[in-house]
Structure 1
Amino acid sequence: MSIKLSALAEELGLEYTGADIEISGVNTLDKAGPDEISFLVNPKYQQQLETTKAGCVLTSGPYAERVRSALVSTNVYMDLAKIINLFAKPQGCLTGVSELAFIHPDASVDGTATVYPFAFIGEGAEIGSNTVLFPGVYVGEGTRVGANCILYPNVVVMGGLSLGDNVILQPGAVLGGDGFGFAQTPAGHMKIPQIGTVAVEDDVEIGANSAIDRAALDTTRIKRGTKIDNLVQIGHNVEIGEHCLIVGLVGIGGSTVVGNGVILAGQAGVADNTRIGDGVIVGGQCGVSGKLEPGVKVSGTPAMPYATFLKAAGVCVPKLPDMFKRLKKLEMELESMKKAVGEDNE
Structure 2
Amino acid sequence: MKIKLSALAEKLGLDHTGDDMEISGVNTLEKAGPEDLSFLVNPKYAQLLDTTRAGCVLTSGPYADRVGRALVSSNVYMDLAKVVNIFAKPQGCLQGVSELAYVHPEARVDDTATVYPFAFIGARAVVGARSVVFPGCYVGEDSAIGADCLLYPNAVVMGSVTIGDKVILQPGAVLGGDGFGFAQTPFGHMKIPQIGTVIVEESVEIGSNTAIDRAALDTTRIGRGTKIDNLVQIGHNVQVGEHCLIIGQVGIGGSTKVGNNVVLAGQVGVADNAEIGDGAMIAAQSGLAGKIEPGSRLAGTPVMPAGTFLKAAGSCMPRLPELFRRVKALEKELNAVKAAANGGNDDE
What residue is the counterpart of 1:120 in the other structure?
Answer: 120
Contact 2:9 2:16 in 1 (8 A): yes
Q: CA deviation at 1:344?
A: 7.0
Q: How does 1:174-193 map to 2 (within 5 A)?
A: 174-193=174-193
Q: Taking every aligned residue pair, what percent have the same amino acid on both sides? A: 71
What residue is the counterpart of 2:208 in the other structure?
Answer: 208
Please tell me the residue identity of whatever aligns with 1:34. Answer: P
Separation (CA, whole Å) in 1 of partners of 2:331 and 2:195: 60
Contact 2:4 2:23 in 1 (8 A): yes
Separation (CA, whole Å) in 2 of partners of 1:235 and 1:46: 44
What residue is the counterpart of 1:64 in the other structure?
Answer: 64
Separation (CA, whole Å) in 2 of partners of 1:345 and 1:254: 59
Please tell me the residue identity of whatever aligns with 1:282. Answer: I
Separation (CA, whole Å) in 1 of partners of 2:225 and 2:207: 14
Q: How does 1:127-166 map to 2 (within 5 A)?
A: 127-166=127-166
What residue is the counterpart of 2:223 in the other structure?
Answer: 223
Q: CA deviation at 1:334?
A: 1.1
What residue is the counterpart of 1:242 in the other structure?
Answer: 242
Please tell me the residue identity of whatever aligns with 1:291. Answer: K
Please tell me the residue identity of whatever aligns with 2:3. Answer: I
Q: CA deviation at 1:13?
A: 0.5
Q: What's the CA shift string for 1:123-170, capped at 9, x where partnerless?
A: 010000000000000000000000000000000000001000000000
What residue is the counterpart of 2:296 in the other structure?
Answer: 296
Q: What's the CA shift string for 1:215-238, capped at 9, x where partnerless?
A: 000000000000000000000000
Question: Does the residue aligned with 1:220 lie in a helix, a strand or coil?
Answer: strand
What residue is the counterpart of 2:82 in the other structure?
Answer: 82
Q: 1:330 and 2:330 equivalent?
A: yes
Contact 2:6 2:16 in 1 (8 A): yes
What residue is the counterpart of 1:45 in the other structure?
Answer: 45
What residue is the counterpart of 2:271 in the other structure?
Answer: 271
Separation (CA, whole Å) in 1 of partners of 2:79 and 2:310: 34
Q: Which runs of 5+ in 1 are unaligned?
A: none
Q: CA deviation at 1:335?
A: 1.0
What residue is the counterpart of 1:173 in the other structure?
Answer: 173
Contact 2:339 2:345 in 1 (8 A): no
Please tell me the residue identity of whatever aligns with 2:246. Answer: I
Q: CA deviation at 1:29?
A: 0.2
Q: CA deviation at 1:327?
A: 0.4
Question: Does the residue aligned with 1:85 lie in a helix, a strand or coil?
Answer: helix
| Regions of 4+ moved over 6 Å | none
Q: CA deviation at 1:319?
A: 1.1
Q: What's the CA shift string for 1:157-188, capped at 9, x where partnerless?
A: 00001000000000000000000111111111
Please tell me the residue identity of whatever aligns with 2:101. Answer: A
Q: How does 1:7-46 map to 2 (within 5 A)?
A: 7-46=7-46
Question: Does the residue aligned with 1:295 lie in a helix, a strand or coil?
Answer: coil
Q: CA deviation at 1:345?
A: 8.7
Q: CA deviation at 1:239?
A: 0.5
Q: CA deviation at 1:212?
A: 0.2
Question: Does the residue aligned with 2:284 lie in a helix, a strand or coil?
Answer: coil
Q: CA deviation at 1:265?
A: 0.3
Question: Does the residue aligned with 2:322 lie in a helix, a strand or coil?
Answer: helix
Please tell me the residue identity of whatever aligns with 2:30. Answer: D
Q: CA deviation at 1:311?
A: 1.0
Separation (CA, whole Å) in 2 of partners of 1:210 and 1:200: 14
Q: CA deviation at 1:343?
A: 1.4
Question: Does the residue aligned with 2:333 lie in a helix, a strand or coil?
Answer: helix
Q: What's the CA shift string for 1:81-103, capped at 9, x where partnerless?
A: 00000000000000000000000
Q: Would the alpha carbon gap of residues 335 and 219 (structure 1) be closer, same or farther in structure 2, given more than 3 Å must change?
A: same
Q: Would the alpha carbon gap of residues 342 and 161 (structure 1) be closer, same or farther in structure 2, given more than 3 Å must change?
A: same
Q: What's the CA shift string for 1:242-276, capped at 9, x where partnerless?
A: 00000001000000000000000001111100000
What residue is the counterpart of 1:286 in the other structure?
Answer: 286
Q: CA deviation at 1:338?
A: 1.4
Please tell me the residue identity of whatever aligns with 1:81. Answer: A
Q: CA deviation at 1:342?
A: 1.4
Give the number of equivalent residue pairs: 346
Separation (CA, whole Å) in 2 of partners of 1:178 and 1:71: 50
Please tell me the residue identity of whatever aligns with 1:97. Answer: V
Q: CA deviation at 1:209?
A: 0.5
Separation (CA, whole Å) in 2 of partners of 1:314 and 1:32: 39
Structure 1-normalised TM-score? 0.99
Q: CA deviation at 1:341?
A: 1.4
Please tell me the residue identity of whatever aligns with 2:74. Answer: T
Please tell me the residue identity of whatever aligns with 2:321. Answer: P
Question: Does the residue aligned with 1:331 lie in a helix, a strand or coil?
Answer: helix
What residue is the counterpart of 1:195 in the other structure?
Answer: 195
Contact 2:274 2:290 in 1 (8 A): yes
Question: Does the residue aligned with 1:343 lie in a helix, a strand or coil?
Answer: coil
Q: Which runs of 5+ in 2 are unaligned?
A: none
Separation (CA, whole Å) in 1 of partners of 2:151 and 2:35: 34
Please tell me the residue identity of whatever aligns with 2:199. Answer: A
